Amino acid sequence: MDHFNYHQGHLHAEGVPLSRIAAAVGTPVYVYSAATLRRHFGLFTQALDWTDHLVCFAVKANSNLAILKLMGDMGAGMDVVSGGEYARAKAAGVPGERIVFSGVGKTIAEMRQALEGGIRQFNVESEPELLALSQLADSMGAEAPIAIRVNPDVDAKTHEKIATGKSENKFGIPIARAREVYAQAAALPAIRVVGVDMHIGSQLTDLDPFRQAYAKMADLTRALRADGHSITRLDMGGGLGIPYRRDNNAPPLPIEYGQVIRETVGDLDCEIEIEPGRNIVGNAGVLLSSVIYLKHGEGRDFLILDAAMNDLLRPAMYGAHHDILPVNEPRLAADVQPFDVVGPVCETGDTFQKGADLPAMMAGDLVAFRSAGAYGAVMASEYNTRPLVPEVLVDGDQFAVIRGRPSIEEILSRDTIPEWL
Ligand SMILES: *Cc1c(COP(=O)(O)O)cnc(C)c1O
């Protein structure tokens, strides 16, 4: 459930008509709903209310400082995958004790930044990383709390580009070798083993892969304890999917996901960490865009928008689907016809949807891409020298620009022409 609904024929974000935001900020623009974010975060904390837990928002899904502050103020932790994201979490007021650091390629500079600024745990993904972290922490007179990311070799049954828990993926340490690597970790200076970590993929719409992976995690935890390690935290990763099509069977709910965690690892008396990204912010955002031209092609009509693949990359990158809604509700459902909805970028891949059922529209009419809050703005670029897409946060009847649109002058000023040219 989200807070983007029609009122008197006009699509709103909470109490604000999207047309008002378009008039004030221009298009394309991302619009987020604070009430939806709060609601989704609440569903995850409820799903784990049977145990000690920390919901660590996956910053890579949406890293705007205002979004991070909103989440952090509700008590969320953060899962970061770079020094930049770590700095964002801190700038949003989240203390280091609530930040976990994931990722296969943490650099020495990034690990130092986290050790200096405070960190809840590093989710270590390889032996070379473990050795580098130990040496660094030792040289700083610090101690690095770690979990090892274990690859359980389960099929997440999701898109191949976002599956991470099969042995052929680059992520984590194969579960068969986990005990050996934990033994190595325990023997290293300046390393403190605190837990076990997994993250098997994104946009999972079935609970079975989670159940299989978490059952393996439970067995491993028992084995590690028998080996003498103190395992007090289990990081279950993120990945719970969202409905991208309104008419589709909805994926499992957070409460059902929480039950799977309880059934598989609930008896181990560990603090539970989860790292949802998409499920919290995906349906809390839309991309608002205007029609530039309606173009009649051969056997098809094109709706050319002012949003493009550089603003919302998911359709071009993963063939992802986003429902497209007209901001002015058509009076009769029968008034719709199929359009190929495209952007202005010079790539055929810049196609959002073929044959989308939409009412006849004119230049200047507005459309909204649903479910665009996660992996939307964060993946945006300035390809074709299109200014980086701005972001707006709505809360009740108020809205604020939380990232402004850069001017063309600002964009050009980042380049330098060497003197000798
Ligand atoms: C991407 C990622 C997440 C978040 O995944 P979602 O599908 O957005 O919930 C969580 N943990 C790690 C380690 C990730 O890489």
Same domain, 170 and 223: yes
- Average pLDDT of the segment spanning 303-315: 98
DSSP, collapsed to helix, strand or coil, labels residue 133 as helix
pLDDT at 331 over 90: no
Residue 16 pLDDT:
98
User: Considering the domain boundaries, does residue 351 fall inside one?
Assistant: yes
Query: Under a CB-based contact definition with an 8 Å cutoff, are residues 260 and 251 in contact?
Result: no
Pocket test for ligand 1, best of 37, 41, 54, 60 (most atoms within 8 A of CB): 60
Instruction: Tell me if 396 is assigned to some domain.
Output: yes
301 and 383 both lie in a single domain:
yes
d(CA 58, CA 5) in angstroms, rounded, equals 27
- 202 and 347 housed in the same domain: no
165 falls in which pLDDT band (50, 70, 90)? confident
User: pLDDT at residue 332 above 80?
Assistant: no
Domain finish residue from 274, 307, 329: 274
Task: Identify the sign of the CA torsion 58, 92, 33, 336.
Answer: negative
Query: Coil, strand or helix: which one is 328?
Result: strand
User: Do residue 225 and residue 303 come from a single domain?
Assistant: no
Same domain, 402 and 268: no
The answer to the question of residue 368 being in a domain is yes
| Interatomic CA distance for residues 15 and 17, integer angstroms | 7
Let me know whether 171 and 130 are in one domain: yes
Asked whether residue 315 falls in the same domain as residue 236, the answer is no
Q: Write out residues with Cβ below 6 Å of ligand 1.
A: 58, 60-61, 79, 81, 102, 199, 202, 237-239, 275-279, 374
Q: Which tens digit of pLDDT belongs to each residue from 342-360?
A: 999 988 899 999 999 999 8
| pLDDT given at position 13 | 98
Asked if the model's pLDDT at residue 50 lies above 90, the reply is: yes
User: What percent of the chain has pLDDT above 90?
Assistant: 90
Q: Mean pLDDT across the chain, nearest whole number?
A: 96
Judge contact between 366 and 327, C-beta under 8 A. Answer: yes
Q: Domain with 155 in it: what CATH number?
A: 3.20.20.10
Beta-sheet strands, E only, within 104-249 = 121-124, 144-151, 173-174, 191-197, 233-235
Domain boundary among 274, 299, 334: 274
Residue 48: inside a domain, yes or no?
no
Model pTM score = 0.96
Residue where one domain finishes, among candidates 274, 290, 316: 274
Q: Assess whether 212 and 156 both reside in one domain.
A: yes
**Ligand 1: distance of its center to the CA of 220 in Å?**
22
Catalogue the active-site residues: 346
Atom of ligand 1 nearest to the CA of 278: 8
**Does 299 lie in the same domain as 337?**
yes
Counting atoms of ligand 1 from 1, which one is nearest the CA of 241? 7
As a whole number of angstroms, the distance between CA 287 and CA 29 comes to 6
67-109 tens-digit pLDDT = 999 999 999 999 999 999 999 999 999 999 999 999 999 999 9
Radius of gyration of the chain from its Cα atoms, rounded to whole angstroms:
23
How far is residue 94's CA from residue 78's CA, in Å, rounded to a whole number?
8
Contact 264, 52 (CB under 8 A): no
pLDDT grade for 250, boundaries at 50, 70 and 90 = confident
Residue 21 belongs to domain with CATH number = 2.40.37.10
Residue 195 pLDDT > 70: yes
Which domain range does residue 302 map to?
4-31+282-413
Q: For the purposes of burial, counting CB atoms within 10 Å of the CB of 351, is it exposed (0-12), middle (13-18) or buried (19 or more)?
A: middle
Is the residue at 88 inside a domain? Answer: no
Q: Please check whether residue 32 is in contact with residue 393, taking contact to mean a CB–CB distance below 8 angstroms.
A: yes
119-146 per-position pLDDT tens digit: 999 999 999 999 999 999 999 999 999 9
What distance in angstroms lies between residue 117's CA and the mean position of ligand 1's atoms?
23
Residue 15 in domain: yes
Pocket residue to mutate for ligand 1, from 202, 206, 375, most atoms within 8 A of Cβ? 202
If asked whether residues 158 and 125 sit together in one domain, one would say: yes
Mean pLDDT of 190-200: 97
- Count up the domains in the chain and report the number: 2
Provide the 10 A C-beta neighbour count for residue 400. Answer: 10
Q: Residue 171: what pLDDT?
A: 87
Q: In this predicted structure, what is the pLDDT of residue 1? A: 67
> Within this chain, do residues 257 and 160 fall inside the same structural domain, yes or no?
yes
Q: Are residues 236 and 298 in the same domain?
A: no
Q: Answer yes or no: is 315 within a domain.
A: yes
Any domain includes 185: yes
pLDDT in tens, 8-22: 999 999 999 999 999
Q: What φ, ψ does residue 405 adopt, rounded to 5°?
A: -85, 125
Compute, in angstroms, the gap from residue 199 CA to the centroid of ligand 1: 7
Terminal Cα-to-Cα distance of the chain (whole angstroms): 56
Q: Residue for token digits 């507005």? A: 366
